[in-house]
Structure 1
Amino acid sequence: MTTTTPAATAVQRYLEAWNATDPAERRAAIEAAFAADARYVDPLADVTGTDALDALIAGVHEQFPGMRFTPVGDVDAHHDVCRFRWGLGPEGAEPLVIGFDVATVGPDGRITGVQGFLDKVPAGA
C-alpha cells in the first residue's frame, strides 16, 4: 500500500502546474498548487503571485518546448517544509535540466514559497 503525504501531494500539484501547456489548464493548476501570494525564487527568477508564476511557467515552455518536469527521487518533508529534486527534458529521456527545490506548504496544502536551485543547466539556457 502506498501512502501519499501532504508534501508529496503538494509537489505533485507543483509539477502539474509546471507541465500544463494550455493557458487555462495552467492557470487552474497554478491556483490549485500555489497560494495567491506565493513567492518563487531561483537563480534566474524572483516572482510573487499567480500572475507572475503563470508568466514564468509560460516562458519556460517557450524556452523548452515539448519538455516535461518529472520528479527525481522522493520528497523529503518535515513540519510545513519539503525538499525535492526534479528534471526537465523529453519524456522518457535523460533530463536536460535538474533542479532542487525547497517549498513551504500552507495549512490548505498549497505552496506559499519556493527556493529553487539549478544543479544541471545546458549551455546557453
Structure 2
Amino acid sequence: MADIDIHDLTDRYVAVWNEPDAERRRTAVGELWSADAVHVLQPPKEMLRTAEGLGFDRHFLEARGHHALEFRVTRAHEEFVAPGTFVFRSRGNTVRLHNVVKFNWEMAPRAGGEVAGVGLEILILGPDGRIVSDYQFIEG
C-alpha cells in the first residue's frame, strides 16, 4: 500500500465536488479513483422512494469507472455548488485502518448558516493509494 497522507486524500476528495472547472474535475477523478473504481450511494429514504417510484432499480445507486464517477461528481456540483448555494467540506475526523479510510463531510450554505446535509464516506484504497471502492451514506 502506498504511503499516503489521509488528510490530504480526504481534502482532495471533498475539493473535487466543489471544483468549478470541468477539466480539473476530470483530472482529479483520475487521480483519486482507480480506473474501475465504484462509488455506491446510500441515499436518504425519501430519495430512494422517489427513485423507486419512477421505476429506477438499485443500480442507479452505483457509478463505476472514471466516466461514471466524473458524471456523478459533475451532477452533484451542478445541483448544489455551481448555483452558489452550498459548499462541501470535511468534518476533519478522518481515520485509517489498513486500506480503509473513513470520514464525515457536510454540505453547508456558502453564505453561512446551518449545515444542510451530512454524510459518511468509507473509502477502500488500492495498492497505489487510489480509491477502488467508495461507499457514501447520506445521513441527513
Q: Give the structure-1-normalised TM-score.
A: 0.83
- Which residue of the other structure, out of 107, 128, 131, is the alignment partner of 1:108? 128
Instruction: Kindly indicate which of the two structures has a greater share of residues assigned to strand.
Output: 1
Identity %: 32
- Structure with max Cα Rg: 2
Report the counterpart of residue 12 of structure 2 in structure 1.
Answer: 13
CA RMSD of aligned residues (A): 1.8
- Which residue of the other structure, out of 108, 125, 132, is the alignment partner of 1:89? 108
Unaligned runs of 5+ in 1: 121-125
Q: Give the structure-2-normalised TM-score.
A: 0.75
User: Looking at both structures, which has the greater relative contact order when contacts are Cα pairs under 8 Å and sequence separation is at least 6?
Assistant: 2
Unaligned runs of 5+ in 2: 44-60
Q: Does the residue aligned with 2:89 lie in a helix, a strand or coil?
A: strand
Which moves more between the two structures, 5-14 or 78-87?
A: 5-14
Instruction: Kindly indicate which of the two structures has a greater share of residues assigned to helix.
Output: 2
Q: How many residue pairs end up in the alignment?
A: 117
Q: Give me the whole-angstrom Cα distance separating, in 2, the residues matched to 1:9 and 1:112.
A: 17
- How far off is 1:35 after superposition? 1.0
Report the counterpart of residue 61 of structure 1 in structure 2.
Answer: 77
1:31-73 deviation per Cα after TM superposition (whole angstroms, max 9, x unaligned): 1111111100012431001110111111112221322210113
- How far off is 1:95 after superposition? 2.2
